[in-house]
Amino acid sequence: MKNANRRKKGAAPPEAPMLEVADLSTTFTSDRGFVRAVNNVTFTVQRGKTLGIVGESGSGKSVLSRSIMGLTPNNATRTGSVKFEGRELLATGANEMRHMWGAQMAMVFQDPMTALNPVMRIGRQITESLLHHTDIGKGAANETALALLQSVGIPEAERRLRQYPHELSGGMRQRVMIAIALACGPKLLFADEPTTALDVTVQAQILDLLQDQQRERFMAMILVTHDLGVVAGRADDIAVMYAGRIVEKAPTRTLFREMRHPYSEALLESIPKLEAPNHTRLAAIGGRPPDLVNLPPGCKFAPRCPNVQEKCLKEEPPLIEHGTPGHEYACYFPVGSREGAEARARNVAASRNVPGTVAAGGGIA
Amino acid sequence: MAGSGKAHLREPGESLLRVENLVVEFPAGRRGLKVNAVTNISLDILPGETLGLVGESGCGKSTTGKAIMQLPPPTEGQVIFEGRDLLRLNREELRRNRTQIQMIFQDPISSLNPRRRVEDIIAEGLNIWGTGDKAERNRRVDEMLLTIGMDPEVVRGRRPFQFSGGQCQRISIARAVITEPKLIICDEPVSALDVSVQAQIINLLEDMKARYGLTIMFIAHDLAVVKNVSDRVAVMYLGKICEVSDPNTLYKRPAHPYTQALLSAIPVPDPDISPQDRPKLAGEIPSPVSPPSGCRFRTRCPLAQERCAVEEPIIRKVAPGQFVACHFPLTGRSGITASDWTSAEGDPNQQVITPTAPPAPKPVIDGTPPPAPVR
C-alpha cells in the first residue's frame, strides 16, 4: 500500500518495539470524582506480533486502546509515555495525530453498525482516508478500495462499493470496517472487541481474516476481547486486565500453561466447556468489578479472589516477572504455587467467598 | 437441512409444549414477496426439560420463540400448550393461558422500563392479575430479589440504569419467574454479557429451574452455552430444523454437517489448537425471501449432491435420541474430510477432521461432578 507519511528510514532501529507503553494512566473527571480507568500500564508490541488484551467490561481495556490512539474525550487526563516507533504520542497534538490515524495506526471498532456512516456509500468511506493521507487520485483510490474489499472477502465487491451500510449484514459490515482500517496500510491495528456483536460462525471468519491480514502486512495488532478463547490461538502475548491494571502478562502458551493470577484462572473457568457434560455447573466469578472512583486499597481483585489473605487487602501486589521470562503477574498468592494453594485451603476451611460457590453472587453490597 | 417431519416428537400426552408444522412468514416489499422466517418446523418440550434452540442470526430461532408466545401469531401450525392450541383461543383465553409462559430477552437494559422502579417492574405481573394483597405481593418481590442475589432493602427503589447488564438480566429473570409460569422462553439471555457474568446468569437460571420446577426453551447462537444448559438441542438453519439430539451426543457425534460447522466455530481457550486449521463455514446465510430449493443448507454444505437440491430431507432417527434432516448424515460415514470442506469454500488451510472421532476431550478443569439426571 502506498503511504505518503512513511517515516524516514532509520528513524527507529529495526529491533526496537513498534509500540512502547510505559506507566500509562488515564483518569476521567466525573461528577463523582476521578475515574481511574487505566492505571500504570506498561507493555511493548513488536512489529508483526499480536497482543491480546483480555478483561471484563469496565476493566479499562477499551480505554487503554483509545488512550494509546489519542481518542480519549476532553475530560480524560493521560500520564506516562506511549512511544510509537520512538515518537512520544502523549506529547503529540490532535492535529499531528490526524496524520497518524489511519495512516500509521487504525482501529476496528466493536459495533460495525454504529461505527460506519449510515448515509455514505461504502466506497467513499474506504477512499476517504486514502484521499486524505496519500497523493493518489480518485480513480486509483477507487481501484484500491475495490482491491481492499476483495481482500477482506466481500463477494461482488464492485456492487458493494456503491451500497450503504444498511444493505450489508453484520459480518459484511465488520469486513468493511477492516477494509477501512487497512486502507492506508497502518503499521499498528487495534481491534476492539471486533466480533462481540457477531455470530460464532462469523466471528471465526472475521478473526481469521484479521490474522491473515496481520501476517500478510506484518502489522502489529492489539486484539481486545473479553473472551480468553478468542485470543488463545491467535495472540502471541496476552495481557489480562482488571480494574485498569494489567494483572498478568505472558506469552500465550506460557499464560495458558502456567496461569498464575486467580483472576486469569477465574476468567478461563467461566467459559462453558464443550467437552464437559451438560448441566456442568459453571465457575462464575462472584461479585462485580470494583468502582473505579473508590478503588479499595490493596489488590483490586481481592474482594472476589479465592486466594485472598489479609495482606492482599492492605498492599497492592506489584506486577513482577517471575519464573519464565516474559511472564509477569501481580499476586502474592498465585495459582499453582505453594503459597496460593495454602491460601486457598485456608479460605475453603474458613468457608470464605470462593467464586463458583456464590450461586447468586453479584448482588449489590 | 431443510427439515420437516416429526420423527423427533415424543408422545403428545407427555409434552408441556408441542409445536407442529409451525410456519411464520412476513410480507416483504410491494411485489408480494415474503420472508420465510420459519418453515414447517415441529418441536416439543417435556415438563422440566430444557430445550436449546441454536443457530446463526436469521435462522428463525427467535421468531420461533415469539411465535409460541403468539407475538405475532404464526402464519400456520399448531402451538399446543398443556393440551390447548394457543392459535384457537380467543383473546381473553389467550391472555389467561399465556401467564404460564414468560419470556426473557437478549438486551437486559432495554427490556426493562427505565422509568420504573425495580419493585414495580418485578411486581407487574402480580399487580395485573391482582395476586394476593399488597403486603403479600411485596413479600414475594422481596423473596424473589433475595433469590436472584440482591438485597431488597437496597435495590427495591432503584431504577434499571443503576444496574449493570448482568444485574438487569437478573431482574428480568425475577420478573419472568414471579408469576410462577410453567415455561420460560429465554431469547439469547446471555449473548450481550461478558463470559464471567454469563456464567453467573446461567447458574442462576439453573437454580431457578430447580427451585421453581421450570421448563425452559433456551435460544442462543453459542452452542457451548446451549450444550451446557440443555437436555435436548435443536439446531436450526434458515427457518428449518437440521438436527435434534441430546447435547452430549450432539457434541461427540454431530450428524448434520451444519452442526459440525457450528461446533468447530466455537473459540477454544487452548493455544495449542490453531483456530485457522479448523474447518469453517464459508459465506453467509442465504436470504429467507428466496431460500434454496431442497435442503436449505446445500449452498454451503461440503457434502451437497444433486439430490439435496431436488428433495427436501425429512427428519429421521439416526441414533437413539438423535434425529437429523440430511440425506447424507455424518453418522456412519467416515466423516467429512478437509478436502470436502475445501471444495465447498475454497479455503486451502484445512486439516482432516473426522466427526466420528472428535478431538480428544481436554481434562475438565473445574472438577464439578456430572449432575444427577434431570427429570
3-state secondary structure labels for all residues of chain B = CCCECCCCCCCCCCCCEEEEEEEEEEEECCCCEEEEEEEEEEEEECCCCEEEEECCCCCCHHHHHHHHCCCCCCCEEEEEECCEEHHHCCHHHHHHHHCCEEEECCCCCCCCCCCCCHHHHHHHHHHHHCCCCHHHHHHHHHHHHHHCCCCHHHHCCCCHHHCCHHHHHHHHHHHHHCCCCCEEEEECCCCCCCHHHHHHHHHHHHHHHHHHCCEEEEEECCHHHHHHHCCEEEEEECCEEEEEECHHHHHHCCCCHHHHHHHHHCCCCCCCCCHHHCCCCCCCCCCCCCCCCCCCCHHHCCCCCHHHHHCCCECEEEECCEEECCCCCCCCCCCCCHHHHHHHHCCCCCCCCCCCCCCCCCCCCCCCCCCCCCC
Give the C-alpha separation, B57 to A199, whole Å. 7
- Strand runs labelled E in A8-129: 19-30, 33-45, 50-54, 76-84, 87-88, 105-108
Q: Which residue of A has its CA nearest to B233?
A: A278
Same domain, A28 and A173: yes
> With 0-12 CB in 10 A as exposed, 13-18 as middle and 19+ as buried, what is B103?
buried
Cβ of A256 within 8 Å of Cβ of B271? The answer is yes
Average pLDDT in chain B: 85
Residue type, B205: L
Residue A266 lies in a domain: no
What pLDDT, on a 0 to 100 scale, did the predictor assign at position B131? 86
Residue A277 lies in a domain: no
- Among A26, A13, A189, which residue's Cα sits nearest to residue A109? A189
Cβ of A205 within 8 Å of Cβ of B266? The answer is no
Helix or strand or coil: residue A325? coil
State the CATH number of the domain containing residue A62: 3.40.50.300
Residue A359 lies in a domain: no
Same domain, A172 and A80: yes
Residue pair A58/A109 in contact by the 8 Å Cβ criterion: no
Q: What is the pLDDT of residues B212-257, one digit of tens each?
A: 999 999 999 889 999 999 999 999 999 999 999 999 999 999 999 9
A253 interaction partners in chain B (CB closer than 8 Å): 271-272
Helix or strand or coil: residue A249? strand
The total number of structural domains that make up chain A: 2
pLDDT at B372 over 50: no
Cα separations in angstroms, A218 against A13, A176, A188, A221, B277: 16, 20, 9, 9, 20
Cβ of B271 within 8 Å of Cβ of A253? The answer is yes
Give the pLDDT band (50/70/90) at residue B192. Answer: confident
Same domain, A145 and A227: yes
Residue A197 lies in a domain: yes
Cβ of B149 within 8 Å of Cβ of A233? The answer is no
Residue A2 lies in a domain: no
The answer, for A357 touching chain B at a CB cutoff of 8 Å, is no
For the CA atoms of chain A, what is the radius of gyration? 22
Sign of CA dihedral A97, A99, A102, A105: negative
CA distance between the termini of chain A: 54
Residues B143-147 have a mean pLDDT of 93
What pLDDT, on a 0 to 100 scale, did the predictor assign at position B365? 39
Same domain, A192 and A290: no
The answer, for A291 touching chain B at a CB cutoff of 8 Å, is no
Same domain, A178 and A52: yes
CA distance between the termini of chain B: 30
Extract the C-alpha cell encoding B174: 425475577
Cβ of A274 within 8 Å of Cβ of B224? The answer is yes
Same domain, A303 and A227: no
> Chain A, 41-70: which have a CB under 8 Å from a chain B CB?
56-57
What pLDDT, on a 0 to 100 scale, did the predictor assign at position B353? 35
A233 interaction partners in chain B (CB closer than 8 Å): 267-268, 270-271, 273-276
Same domain, A338 and A288: yes
Same domain, A185 and A327: no
Residue A252 lies in a domain: no
Q: What is the pLDDT of residues B53-102, one digit of tens each?
A: 999 888 999 999 999 999 889 999 999 999 999 999 999 999 998 999 99
Residue pair A287/A362 in contact by the 8 Å Cβ criterion: yes
Helix or strand or coil: residue A103? coil
What pLDDT, on a 0 to 100 scale, did the predictor assign at position B337? 52
Range of the domain at A336: 283-349
Distance from CA of B272 to the nearest CA of A (A): 7
Residue with cell 456442568: A280
**Is the peptide bond prior to B363 cis by the omega test (within 30 degrees of 0)?**
no
B371 interaction partners in chain A (CB closer than 8 Å): 279-281
Cβ of A288 within 8 Å of Cβ of B368? The answer is no
Residue pair B315/B1 in contact by the 8 Å Cβ criterion: no
- Of A139-153, B7-21, B178-192, B277-291, which range is least confident? B277-291
Q: Read off the pTM.
A: 0.84
Same domain, A121 and A234: yes
Same domain, A128 and A230: yes
Kind and range of the H or E run holding A175: helix A170-182
Helix or strand or coil: residue A264? helix
Which one is predicted more confidently, B338 or A186? Answer: A186
Cα separations in angstroms, B313 against A120, A138, A294, B106: 43, 51, 60, 32
B267 interaction partners in chain A (CB closer than 8 Å): 200, 203-204, 207, 227, 229-230, 232-233
> With 0-12 CB in 10 A as exposed, 13-18 as middle and 19+ as buried, what is B316?
middle
A113 interaction partners in chain B (CB closer than 8 Å): none
Q: What is the pLDDT of residues B287-323, one digit of tens each?
A: 888 899 999 999 999 889 999 999 999 999 999 999 9
> Chain A, 80-139: which have a CB under 8 Å from a chain B CB?
none
Which one is predicted more confidently, A57 or B352? Answer: A57
Same domain, A118 and A28: yes
What pLDDT, on a 0 to 100 scale, did the predictor assign at position B335? 52
B251 interaction partners in chain A (CB closer than 8 Å): 274-275
Residues B104-133 have a mean pLDDT of 92
Residues B270-290 have a mean pLDDT of 83
Residue A100 lies in a domain: yes
Residue A222 lies in a domain: yes
Distance from CA of A319 to the nearest CA of B (A): 23
Same domain, A205 and A293: no
What pLDDT, on a 0 to 100 scale, did the predictor assign at position A5? 47
Would you write out chain A's pLDDT as a tens digit for each of its 365 residues? 444 444 444 454 556 899 999 999 999 998 989 999 999 999 999 999 999 999 988 889 989 999 999 999 999 999 999 999 999 999 998 899 999 999 999 999 888 888 899 999 999 999 999 999 988 999 999 999 999 999 888 888 999 999 999 998 888 899 999 999 999 999 999 999 898 878 888 888 899 999 999 999 999 999 999 889 999 989 999 999 999 999 999 999 999 999 999 999 999 999 999 889 999 999 888 877 888 898 989 999 999 999 999 999 999 999 999 888 899 999 999 999 999 999 999 988 887 654 433 333 333 33
Residue pair A27/A34 in contact by the 8 Å Cβ criterion: yes
Sign of CA dihedral B50, B51, B57, B63: negative
pLDDT at B106 over 50: yes
Cβ of A280 within 8 Å of Cβ of B202? The answer is no
